[in-house]
Amino acid sequence: MARRRRGHEEEHENLERWLVSYADFITLLFAFFVVMYAISSVNEGKYRVLSDSLVSAFRNVQVVGAGQMNIVTPPNASIKQIVVKQDPQTAARRQAQRDKMRNVAQDIFRALAPLVRQGKVRLVETDKGVTIEIADSVLFSPGQAQLEPTSAQALRMVGEVLAPTEFPIVVEGHTDNVPIRTALYPSNWELSAVRATTVLRLFADAGVSPQRLTAIGYGEHRPVEGNDTQEGRARNRRVSILIESAIPAEPEVPPPAAPPSAPVSGDGVTPSPAAASAVGAALDGGAGSGGR
């Protein structure tokens, strides 16, 4: 009777022991899910800061070579605008000089009145000065660099208008893209250069100071119209007389130089210091957040 009771007590102890392990397992499982929930809770504000920092740091990565990258400053980065104050006296002198150049150009137009009526002369005003374009058909025979008698007389009058002025004069020769191969002119380079020099020598004979004269031959490489039509080729065959401004134009202020790019080799990318600090601050702030 005593043996049966003892066996019954031992059997009762064995049946209740698993409850302890089960309770421990449930407790650990509950703690696990609590930790998982805490980790999954994200602070939206700090997450957005981190996301924006990463985008600004890596969206302008440019591949410059095999296995190398450069971090480029974003185009919307803040750049201080440099304002150059213009001297009122210099501005007045520049305006007076430009007015004088226009008057000289008008005098040249009057000297070339017959050609102007034929539409063979054009006036172009740029920052460098005033350019007078003359079609070569009224100046030279095809493939030649000797001035026609009537055009030589008109250009001599132009030289007399330019002689008393102080502006630098640049004579430019231009051709179309039709090739030329002669003993005198192996290419359009030589033809355009000799034509510009011919006009320059005539200006010098008319009294223009040689120190103010420059001749340039561009060949067919500075067209103003397409060379696929006869009208375009005729428009490109021209002699340009540039009356340069004696006062240089207002210099353009270049934008501030961008910070040096960070070269990266392999698969890694090195963000700029500003982006790296922003990412670090976002990570430091997000590490301590446990809820919304």
Q: Identify the bridge partners of residue 265 per DSSP, sorted by sequence position.
A: 68
Task: Report the pLDDT averaged over residues 191-195.
Answer: 96
Q: How far apart are CA 38 and CA 289, in angstroms?
A: 9
* Whether residue 149 is found in the same domain as residue 187: yes
pLDDT (mean) for 165-192: 94
| 198 and 66 within one domain | no
Query: And the tokens for 60?
Result: 């302008």
Report how far residue 107's alpha carbon sits from residue 141's, in angstroms, rounded to the nearest whole number.
26
Q: Closest Cα to residue 54, out of 285, 228, 283?
A: 283
Give me the torsion for CA of 225, 229, 234, 238, rounded to 10°: 30
Same-domain check for residues 235 and 283: no
Task: Write out the DSSP string of 141-166.
Answer: -TT--SBPHHHHHHHHHHHHHHTTS-
Condensed to tens digits (0 to 9), the pLDDT of residues 57-101 reads: 666 555 444 445 454 555 554 545 555 566 788 888 888 888 888
Whether residues 96 and 69 fall in one domain: no
Same domain, 231 and 126: yes
pLDDT at 264: 45
Please give the model's pTM, rounded to 2 decimal places: 0.56
Residue 179 shares a structural domain with residue 213: yes
Q: Do both 136 and 28 map to the same domain?
A: no
Q: Are residues 6 and 134 in the same domain?
A: no
Q: Across all residues in the chain, what is the average pLDDT?
A: 76
Q: Which 3 state secondary structure label does DSSP give 103?
A: helix
pLDDT reported for residue 207: 94
3-state class (DSSP) for residue 4 = helix
Residue 20 lies in a domain: yes
**CA nearest neighbour of 193 among 206, 175, 180, 169:** 175
Residue 262 is assigned to a structural domain of this protein: no
Q: How far, CA to CA in Å, does 168 sit from each of 54, 217, 257?
A: 56, 17, 34
Question: Total structural domains in the chain?
Answer: 2
C-alpha dist (Å) from residue 122 to 48, 130, 132, 246: 61, 11, 6, 22
Tell me, yes or no, whether 218 lies in a domain.
Answer: yes
Residues 97 and 193 occupy one common structural domain: yes
How does residue 250 score in pLDDT terms, banded at 50, 70 and 90? low
* 92 & 233 share domain: yes
The reported pLDDT for the residue numbered 90 is 80
Q: Report yes or no on 260 lying in a domain.
A: no
Domain shared by 27 and 133, yes or no: no
Asked if the structure places residue 167 within a domain, the reply is yes
DSSP-derived secondary structure letter, 122: E
Q: Of 45, 7, 40, 39, whose CA–CA distance to 285 is shortest?
A: 45
Instruction: Verify that 54 and 169 share a domain, yes or no.
Output: no
Report pLDDT digits (tens) over 149-170.
Answer: 888 988 999 999 999 999 999 9
Residue 6: domain span: 2-74+279-287
At 119, list the tokens.
Answer: 């539409």
Say how far residue 11 (Cα) sits from the centre of its chain: 91
User: pLDDT grade, residue 116 (50/70/90)?
Assistant: confident
For residue 271, how many other CB atoms are within 10 A of its CB? 20
